[in-house]
């Protein structure tokens, strides 16, 4: 039973070809491409509105030099939203439920932000390791604590995204299995369980969007400290 619950998170392989690469690359084909027409269609207009609203909210507290990261973070937001929501469809695979992928994204981007801060303004970046007005006796302890918290940031980013998606998928699978098992035994209870399953699917779709936004928002906050 335990193995069957977590089988959905295994990376599928067909003819020695990992399908996780196809799962990552395929959704990008579904996005509408820009057109040269004066008036865009509804899908392209909705996509542009979503990107403009999300980008304006993310980069609102960041100064002008940090706006160079707008293309990267907006692309990351689209990527995470697509991967998280596509995994809710039947017979699909969720790449962002893999800790290795999330840690790779979080670690690389966090390291880039830290290196950028050390290059452009090292004094300001190192100043975050010691809070202003701290007692002199607590200085070594505070520096160690802030350094540990700095290196925990990418781990927290990757684990948060993985844990939320994994918990939601497991809850949906358990509820759907219970609904199917009670369908012939207790039909009335199965109907209520099916309604609960539908509400859980809506909640998981909202969680998929929120977690993608939180991932990019925290990266933007890290960028704000180093730019």
9 within some domain: no
Using the predicted structure, report yes or no on whether residue 111 has a pLDDT greater than 80. Answer: yes
Contacts of 196 (CB under 8 A, 6+ apart): 175
Yes or no: say if 173 and 8 are a contact pair by the CB < 8 Å rule.
yes
Q: What is the pLDDT of residue 1?
A: 45
> What is the count of structural domains for the chain?
1
Instruction: Provide the pLDDT confidence category of residue 7 given band limits of 50, 70 and 90.
Output: low
Domain that holds residue 55: 14-32+42-226
Per-residue pLDDT tens digits for 63-107: 777 778 888 888 888 888 888 887 787 767 778 888 888 898 899
Residue % of the chain over a pLDDT of 90 = 3
- In a domain, residue 48? The reply is yes
115, part of any domain: yes
Task: Using the CB atoms, write b or e for 61-86: b if 16+ within 10 Å.
Answer: ebeeebeebbeebbebbbbbbbbbbb
Which of the residue ranges 4-13, 36-45, 126-135, 162-171 would you say has the lowest mean pLDDT? 4-13
pLDDT tens-place string over residues 177-216: 888 888 888 888 888 888 888 898 899 889 988 998 899 9
> Is residue 4 assigned to a domain?
no
Instruction: Give the chain as a 3 state SS string.
Output: CHHHHHHHHCCCEECCEECHHHHHHCHHHHCCCCCCCCCCCHHHHHHHHHHHHHHHHHCCCCCHHHHHHHHHHHHHHHHHHHHHHHCCCCCCCCHHHCHHHHHHHHHHHHHHHHHHHHHHCHHHHHHCCCCCCCCCCCHHHHHHHHHHHHHHHHHHHHHHHHHHHHHHHHHHHHHHHHHHHHCCCCHHHHHHHHHHHHHHHHHHHHHHHHHHHHHHHHHHHHHHHHC
Tell me if 3 is assigned to some domain. Answer: no
CA distances from 134 to 121, 125, 131, 152, 165 (A): 22, 17, 6, 22, 39
pLDDT score recorded for residue 155:
92
Q: In whole numbers, what is the pLDDT of the chain averaged over residues? A: 80
Domain assignment present for residue 89? The answer is yes
Bridge partners (DSSP) listed for residue 13? 18
Residue 1 forms part of a structural domain = no
For the chain, the straight-line distance linking the first and the last C-alpha, in angstroms and rounded, comes to 49
Instruction: Identify the burial level of 25 via C-beta atoms within 10 angstroms of its C-beta, where 0-12 means exposed, 13-18 middle and 19 or more buried.
Output: exposed
Residue 153, pLDDT > 80, answer yes
Instruction: Quote the Cα angle for 157-161-167, to 5°.
Output: 140
């Amino acid at each position: 039973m335990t193995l069957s619950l977590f089988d959905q998170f295994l990376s599928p392989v067909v003819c020695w070809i990992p399908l996780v690469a196809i799962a990552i690359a395929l959704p990008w084909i579904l996005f509408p491409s820009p057109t040269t027409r004066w008036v865009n269609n509804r899908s392209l207009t909705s996509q542009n509105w979503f990107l403009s609203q999300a980008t304006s909210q993310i980069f609102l507290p960041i100064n002008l030099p940090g706006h160079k990261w707008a293309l990267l973070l907006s692309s990351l937001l689209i990527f995470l939203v697509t991967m998280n929501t596509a995994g809710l469809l039947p017979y699909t695979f969720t790449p962002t439920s893999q800790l290795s992928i999330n840690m790779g994204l979080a670690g690389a981007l966090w390291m880039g932000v830290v290196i950028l801060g050390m290059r452009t303004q090292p004094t300001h970046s190192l100043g975050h390791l010691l809070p202003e007005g701290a007692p002199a006796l607590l200085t070594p302890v505070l520096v160690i604590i802030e350094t540990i918290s700095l290196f925990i940031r990418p781990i927290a980013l990757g684990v948060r995204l993985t844990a939320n998606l994994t918990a939601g998928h497991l809850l949906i699978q358990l509820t759907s299995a219970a609904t199917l098992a009670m369908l012939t035994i207790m039909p009335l209870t199965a109907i209520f369980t099916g309604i609960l399953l539908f509400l859980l699917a809506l909640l998981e779709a909202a969680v998929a969007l929120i977690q993608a936004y939180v991932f990019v928002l925290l990266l933007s906050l890290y960028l704000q400290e180093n730019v």
